[in-house]
Amino acid sequence: MVATTEELLELHGQVRDCTACPLHLTRIQAVPGYGPVTARVMAVGEAPGENEDREGKPFVGAAGRLLTSLLESAGLDRRDIYITNIVKCRPPRNRDPEPIEVEACSHYLDEQIALFQPDVILLLGRHALARLLPGAGGISRLHGERLRHNDRVFVPLYHPAAALYNGGLRETLEADMRRVRGYLADAEAARARRAGGASASELRQVAAAPGGAQMDLF
Ligand code: URA
Ligand code: SF4
């Protein structure tokens, strides 16, 4: 575990008290993020909507339900993932966040990433992609791809809300989520190797070595 519960609660408290941009004037409450402190995967959306503003948790409306079922369809459990947004307060009438709001808020996201050190960061939609991988390209080209930047692994995905209105995108998102599952398995294996465990290929070499053939390594 990288983050501690105290650090995460402290950060959430700062977000809830934040008045650094005009969005604090119209919110019911800020939505810092939600998920276990042990999460190895982070998902980053755009901004809270009406339901999120009311409940104080991210992705609890229709887009959130679709996100949950997309994750499930790929064998992933939402309860293992820390979910947050680029801006933590709802823009009025769900308009796009203004650059000045993104600018004011993004240090919280940077701190969340630094706390969790996630294996994989899912970028839900073009706002998250533009903020965390500026200049990388558009979502229609990069969705489902695994991109390394600053020693982190990112996967841009279409925003689930877009798939609510476009059934074809839902299938694309399902296929991309299955790829995410593979990326997570790779990331876990890499972490195990870094922690000092032998890699599968090293084990295979041992198994193939003279006298090693009878060893049951797997
Ligand atoms: N859409 C988002 O981008 N974030 C939420 O939290 C909910 C809907
Ligand atoms: Fe603070 Fe971010 Fe909310 Fe603006 S959107 S008030 S910067 S928490």
Percent of the chain scoring above 90 in pLDDT: 82
What are 50-67's pLDDT values in tens digits? 999 999 999 999 999 999
Distance from C-alpha of 192 to C-alpha of 47, rounded to nearest angstrom = 34
For residue 112, being part of any structural domain is answered with: yes
Residue-range definition of the domain harbouring residue 90 = 5-208
105 within ligand 2 shell (Cβ under 6 A): yes
For residue 29, being part of any structural domain is answered with: yes
101 within ligand 1 shell (Cβ under 6 A): no
Q: So what's the pLDDT on residue 211? A: 36
Residue 62's domain is classified under what CATH number?
Answer: 3.40.470.10
Number of domains in the chain: 1
For residue 117, being part of any structural domain is answered with: yes
Percent of the chain scoring above 70 in pLDDT: 89
Distance from C-alpha of 184 to C-alpha of 199, rounded to nearest angstrom = 16
Q: So what's the pLDDT on residue 206? A: 34
What's the gap in Å between 55 CA and the centre of ligand 1?
12
What are 132-152's pLDDT values in tens digits? 999 999 999 999 999 999 889
Cβ 155 vs Cβ 180: under 8 Å? yes
For residue 9, being part of any structural domain is answered with: yes
For residue 216, being part of any structural domain is answered with: no
Mean predicted confidence (pLDDT) in 37-61: 97
Distance from C-alpha of 61 to C-alpha of 150, rounded to nearest angstrom = 32
What are 11-26's pLDDT values in tens digits? 999 999 999 999 999 9
For residue 214, being part of any structural domain is answered with: no
Q: So what's the pLDDT on residue 198? A: 54
DSSP 176-214: HHHHHHHHHHHHHHHHHHHTTPPPHHHHHHHHHSTT-TT
Atom of ligand 1 nearest to the CA of 46: 3
